[in-house]
Amino acid sequence: MADGGVDDGEPPKTLRGVAADAMDVGATEVESALTDPDESIEQMNRFDSVVKAVKENEKVSRGRDYDEMGWRNSALRWSLSERATHMEENQSLT
C-alpha cells in the first residue's frame, strides 16, 4: 500500500495517516506541519511525536526501524576561544 499501509480489510493506515493523526492535521498537511514551525523545539517535539506514533502503530508496515532522533542542545557545542584560535594558527598571543 502507498506510504506503508497494510490491507487487512479495514481502511488502510499509512505512515502519512499516522503522522497526520499524531499532529492532529489533515494528511495533505503533514509535510508543512513538520517543517513550518519556526521554533526548533516545536519542530523537534513534532518529529518525536510522529516517530513515537509510527513505532507504536501495529497496522503500518515499515521497511526500516524508526527511532527518535536524539536531539542535542546547541549550547553544548564546543568552539575554540580566541586565545586557542591564535595558538592553533600559530599566531602571537596578546
Domain of residue 29, residue span: 1-62
pTM for the complete prediction? 0.60
CA distance 29 to 70: 25
73 lies in a domain?
no
Q: Give the amino acid at 65.
A: D
Identify the pLDDT of residue 1. Answer: 45
Number of domains in the chain: 1
72 lies in a domain?
no
pLDDT tens sequence across 6-26: 556 666 678 888 999 999 999
Kindly indicate the confidence band of residue 90, based on its pLDDT and cuts at 50, 70 and 90: confident
pLDDT tens sequence across 63-72: 666 666 766 6
1 lies in a domain?
yes
